[in-house]
Amino acid sequence: MIPYMVTIIPLYLLIVKIKLVDQRWLWLLFGLQRLLFIIFLFRQYFSTIPISFEESARVEGARRFQIFFLIMFPLVQTGVVIAGIFTFQWSWSNYVMPVLFLTGEKVTLAVKLAIGYVDIKENILYNVGMAGIIYYTLPIVIIFFALQKRFIAGLLAGGLKG
Confidence of residue 31 (pLDDT cuts 50, 70, 90): confident
Handedness of CA 140, 130, 103, 10 (dihedral sign): negative
Residue 99 lies in a domain: yes
Residue 162 lies in a domain: no
2-16: pLDDT as tens digits: 777 787 788 888 888
Residues contacting 116, CB < 8 A, separation 6+: 125, 128, 132
Q: What number is the average pLDDT over the span 116-137?
A: 72
**Residue among 104, 46, 116, 54 at smallest CA distance from 75:** 46
Number of domains forming the structure of the chain: 1
Residue 110 lies in a domain: yes
Residue 87 lies in a domain: yes
pLDDT at 143: 82
Interior CA angle at 51 toward 49 and 54, to 5°?
100
Residue 26 lies in a domain: yes
In whole angstroms, give the CA distance from residue 117 to residue 113.
7
**Residue among 112, 135, 115, 136 at smallest CA distance from 124:** 115
Q: What number is the average pLDDT over the span 111-136?
A: 70
Please say if the pLDDT value at position 159 is more than 60.
no
19-51 as b/e: b if 16+ CB within 10 A: eeeeeeebbeeeeeeeeeebeebeeebeeeeee
Domain coverage including residue 132: 4-46+76-156
How many CA atoms lie within 13 Å of 84's alpha carbon, on the beta-carbon side?
13
pLDDT at 61: 92
Residue 53 lies in a domain: no
Please say if the pLDDT value at position 82 is more than 90.
no
Residue 16 lies in a domain: yes
